[in-house]
Structure 1
Amino acid sequence: MTAEGTQAAPDIVEDVFDGRATGIEVEDSGSVEEVIHRPWNPEQIRVTTSAFSLRNILDQIDERSLELAPDFQRGRVWRTDQKSLLVESLLLQIPLPAFYFAEDSDGAFRVVDGLQRLSTLYDFVRGSDTAFRLKGVEYLDDVEGLRFQDLAVQLQRRIYNTQLIINVIDPGTPPEVMYDIFKRINTGGTPLNAQEIRHCMSRPRSREILKRMTHTDAFTKATNGLTDHIRMNDREMALRFAAFWLLGMDAYMDNPVMEAFLMYATRLLDDPVATPDAKVQELERAFEKAMTNAYLIFGEHTFRKWPYGASGRSPINRALFETWSIAVADYNAHGLTMRREEIVSAARDRMTTDVEYLNAITSSTADRRRVAYRFEAAAQDAGAGL
């Protein structure tokens, strides 16, 4: 351990979304995330452009040939006045920006860019529990307070006949290229974060696995209720555990780009041949055990910076989550209970005096040396007292 307590430790900054604290520490993954190790071949990028009526798109959603990414909470966070202005744009015949869909190998489509807009329009026209009344329109005072079924027939027809420009990303596009396209076209009012993009790209199997992993009492307790996080940080942390548990540290060292690593893990979870159901069950059991063990050791400070002298409780740190969940996943709970004081002391000493470690869990967190250092440190501290 490097004792450099006289140096200033990195500041702890909590992420905020829509004016609310998220309970998650802001992570600086470093510029390594942006490095493209292999230039994309332009011939691999296959995007076709078509025009569809809104009625046709809504029918495809009802038929389930077009997926609005279930469990994607960010698709429904607009206020009623924001939704109403979008509907008013259609009534005024103002063209909407293009949408992006991703096509699966089986011919089904998923919304990649424009999810909030399309969810809003679906809710207004076809929604039952999610239907809303127009509120706060700027020009068409006559429609204020009306639902879709209350509109004049000609206005309903105008909405149905609205032509939407759809860019479809061909399923033959390599996943890494597709992910980069998604990042480039991410044009929403509040851009999607990395896990939200992965969620849009993934299949139901991986989404269900991550959902189950984060809907256990053990996870909720260890993270102080992070389940169903508004920015899907709960799913990302479960995915990080899955990635390192399935692939190991060597796989990350071979290609130290966190987004590519997590995207590959997502594809593994989506593939029942690469990751059979029995392996998934083993993964979920290991994750639940890791959550139980981590909380057994750290209590309300689980996965949070907790140096000596700290006041209050810090937000959850994703780098601490991935390392400590892996570090304690295989331990016996009774043994951890017997050594709890030694483990906590070792971890808090490191968070207080080891600036190299603090940097490894705060800035440039995707750097291979920092990833290796924090995993090694967590493994050492988890073994304290043995």
Structure 2
Amino acid sequence: MSLIEQINKKRRDIKTDGYPMAISEWVSMYEQGELDIHPEFQRFYRWSEAQKTGLIESILLGIPLPPIFVSQRQDGVWDVVDGLQRLSTIFQFLGILKDHSNKQVPPLVLEKTKYLPALENIQWESEENPKNTLPKELQLTFKRSKVSASIVLKESDETAKYDLFQRLNTGGSELSPQEVRNCLLLMINKQFFDWLKDLPTDENFINSTALSDRPLEQSYDVELALRFIILSEIPEGQLKGIGDVGLFLTEKMTEIAKNRRYKRAAEKSLFAATFEVLNGALGEDSFKRYNNKKKRHEGGFLLSLFETVALGVAYNISNGTLCSEAEISKRAKSLWSTKGFTDWTSSGTTASRRLPRLIPLGRTVFSKNNHRHDSNH
């Protein structure tokens, strides 16, 4: 296929529209439920008060803002792809912003700026001190100000929407790969998103993974849950064809989210059983390196251990072949004396090369039929 043919094909995958809209029109869509800014993503909305004031100042001064990118759902509602913080700031200033629990967010009180020091303590409406209310003339100017909409129409390909998310992931708070997937998942199937997000709230999972705050802020626990449901029972023949693991996870997630026959209850049961076993056998050491010389676990969470231990235990639970709980702890420690494990966990080993070796290894190691797991395994 020639370059021109490739470009023409991809251009057909993404159908767009766009036009300038007054802030009052954005407000109307938000209040009528025709615009979804996804308050589920609280981390994305974390501008400082100075940044928020800066945006309001720009609008009052007539400085053009970048367009808001939205994706049109099948029901016609616009999902905000890029521009969440700008719209949230505008709605908070106007006193209409709702949080993820549908509760009113306290209205924005502006700070003084270099160019407009008189903005200090200004609000859209201040009943306590009318002097701090934005003058009516400026309110009208504000509401009539234009912010362009760039719309990805519902006919567009889902993968193209995901690519768009990644390309627009600029400025402010950079999103992690799973946060970008979360955005896409909300568009495809919100119920599945809620189900997936609920999996890592399992207490045994929380205790055995012992993740620190930063990865939790970036939805890494949700990514681990996604890896679990995709890889725990994947046929070994498919492992070598994974390629780019991030893209593979996204494509499989989309496929599962669209599959109405997907057995969520059975998958949730396997997830819960796996981490109940691991928490009982190893607790918060489940995915930490084992120091053979010092005879103790050290360091933080290791993804390669999760891929070997959690997925191996899950596979054997599913097949009724799991070894005893006492053996789980011994065999997890013995991995650090196993060449087939240590060779593929060194830094620089890509996930696409690692997974075809570690997943089958974990399935073998934690099987009750494996009576001879030793350093030569």
Q: For the superposition of Structure 1 and Structure 2, which TM-score range results when normalised by the shorter chain?
A: 0.7 to 0.9
Equivalent residue for 1:217, pick from 188, 203, 221: 203
Q: Name the CA distance, whole Å, in 2 between partners of 1:313 and 1:152.
A: 61
Alpha-carbon contact 1:99-1:164 (below 8 Å) kept: yes
Query: How many Å separate the matches in 2 of 1:96 and 1:131?
Result: 22
**2:299 pairs with one of 310, 314, 317:** 314
Separation of aligned partners in 2, 1:246 and 1:93: 56
Measured in 2, the distance between the counterparts of 1:152 and 1:373 equals 67
Aligned pair count? Answer: 342
Is the contact between residue 48 and residue 168 of structure 1 (CA under 8 Å) also seen in structure 2?
A: yes
Judge conservation of contact 1:110–1:200 (CA < 8 Å) in 2.
Answer: no
Answering whether residue 115 of structure 2 is matched by residue 169 of structure 1, we say no
Q: CA deviation at 1:252?
A: 4.9
Classify the secondary structure of the residue corresponding to 2:18: strand
RMSD: 2.9
Contact 2:205 2:279 (8 Å CA) reproduced = no
Instruction: Quote the Cα distance in structure 2 between the aligned partners of 1:108 and 1:98.
Output: 18
Give the equivalent residue in structure 1 for 2:121: 145
Distance 1:143 1:312, change over 3 A: farther
The structure-2 alpha-carbon separation of the partners of 1:218 and 1:64, relative to structure 1 and needing over 3 Å to count, comes to farther
TM-score normalised by the chain length of structure 2: 0.80
SS at match of 1:306: strand
SS at match of 1:358: coil
Aligned partners of 1:105, 1:252: CA distance in 2, in Å? 34
Residue equivalent to 2:362: 378
Larger radius of gyration: 2
Match of 1:282 in 2: 266
Aligned equivalents of 1:344, 1:261: Cα separation in 2: 27
Where does structure 1 lack aligned partners over 5 or more consecutive residues? 1-37
Map 1:84-95 → 2, pairs under 5 A: 84-95=53-64
What is the TM-score of this pair, normalised by structure 1? 0.78
The answer for the alignment partner of 2:107 in structure 1 is 131
In the TM superposition, what is the alpha-carbon distance from 1:136 to its structure 2 partner? 4.7
Summarize the Cα distance change of 1:136–1:365 in structure 2 as closer, same or farther, 3 Å threshold.
farther
C-alpha deviations, 1:156-206, integer Å up to 9, x for none? 223222211111112222222222222222223232221111111123122
- Contact between 2:111 and 2:120, CA under 8 Å: does it hold in 1? yes
Aligned position for 1:300: 284
Once the two structures are TM-superposed, the CA of residue 144 in structure 1 deviates from its matched residue by 0.9
Tell me by how many angstroms 1:82 deviates: 1.6
**SS of alignment partner, residue 289 of structure 2:** coil
The correspondence for 2:313, drawn from 318, 322, 328, is 328
The one-letter code sitting in structure 2 at the alignment partner of 1:261 is: F
Structure 1 residues 335 and 250, CA gap change in structure 2 (3 angstroms) = closer
Query: 5+ residue gaps in structure 2?
Result: 1-5, 98-103, 126-132, 372-377
Report what 1:199 is aligned to.
182
C-alpha contact 2:289 2:299 (8 A) present in aligned 1? yes
CA offset digits 1:136-162 (Å, max 9, x no partner): 533222221222222222222232222
